[in-house]
Amino acid sequence: MKKAALIASTILCASTLFAGVATAGDWWRTVSATASISGGSGQGQVCGLAENKLRAQYSDVTAIKTYFGFDTYTLTSHCRATGQTQQ
């Protein structure tokens, strides 16, 4: 009985390790795109452009986050969109 339990435990452990190795090959990387509009455009407009640019470059991009900034000296809105891709 102990031998059967040991064999079953070994098989379970080996299959778990193999599954971990198989999924470890699914590497995700962070990608980004930027957009800027002069004249003080709104956050939604400039970040929408950055997000669309990112989606156009990477078809499988997920988890998109946007970072908005406004330069008061040049009156320019900037936005950086980042996301995850496997491409």
Instruction: For the chain, list the domains and their CATH numbers.
Output: 29-85 (3.30.1660)
35: closest CA among 87, 82, 79, 68?
79
Task: Please write the tens of the pLDDT for every residue from 27-83.
Answer: 899 999 999 999 867 888 999 999 999 999 998 998 899 999 999 999 999 999 999
Q: pTM higher than 0.85, yes or no?
A: no
DSSP string, 15-75: HHHHHHHHHHT---EEEEEEEEEES---HHHHHHHHHHHHHHH-TT-EEEEEEEEEETTTT
